[in-house]
Amino acid sequence: MPRSEPASLKIPSTGTTSDIMSLGLQDDGSLEVPPGEPGSPAGWYNQSPTPGERGPAVLLGHVNATDAGPGVFASLRDLGKGDTIEVTREDGSVATFAFQRGEAYAKDAFPTLGVYGNTDGAELRLITCDGYDSDTGLFDDNYVVYATLQTD
């Protein structure tokens, strides 16, 4: 598919819907994250391919909101093989991806190249926090969904 920035996200099997905001890098070189308030949207890392282009398009979202309610990606662990993820793009087209797998990674051992590195085809990565530690109140891990573009 030609380049077209993502506008919204729909995951039919979990009932997830969200607008998509653009995210870049912070001054220290770390990835921006979407706001944490209830109802905050998912974000597209704007240095990654657009959904449908060759390579891994990266969307980020919170697993929970600052009020401890669910975040936009609260249901990622409920996805199963073949579930679809639909990204509506600015040009009106829809890139539909099929869930392949989900993996949890310790934040201090995150496989950056495996998540963000080049791929032969159009793929999608959904990334959220995981591994909540009640002693520290922090998330020690990330959960990454890997999905591939469905073609006709």
Task: Give the CA distances from residue 84 to residues 9, 43, 101, 149, in Å, rounded to whole numbers and listed in that order.
Answer: 11, 18, 12, 9
Task: Note the pLDDT tens digit of each residue in 90-100.
Answer: 999 999 999 99
Local confidence band at 46 (pLDDT 50, 70, 90 cut-offs): very high
Q: Which helix (H) or strand (E) holds 98?
A: strand 94-106
Six-digit token string for 151: 């073609």
For the chain, the structural domain boundaries read 6-149
Local confidence band at 33 (pLDDT 50, 70, 90 cut-offs): confident
Looking at 3.60.15.10, 2.60.40.10, 3.40.50.80, 2.40.260.10, the CATH number of the domain 6-149 comes to 2.40.260.10
Q: Which helix (H) or strand (E) holds 129?
A: strand 122-133
Instruction: Tell me the pTM.
Output: 0.92
CA angle (145 as vertex; 142, 146 as ends), nearest 5: 130
Task: Note the pLDDT tens digit of each residue in 47-91.
Answer: 999 999 999 999 999 888 777 788 899 999 999 988 999 999 999
Local confidence band at 141 (pLDDT 50, 70, 90 cut-offs): confident
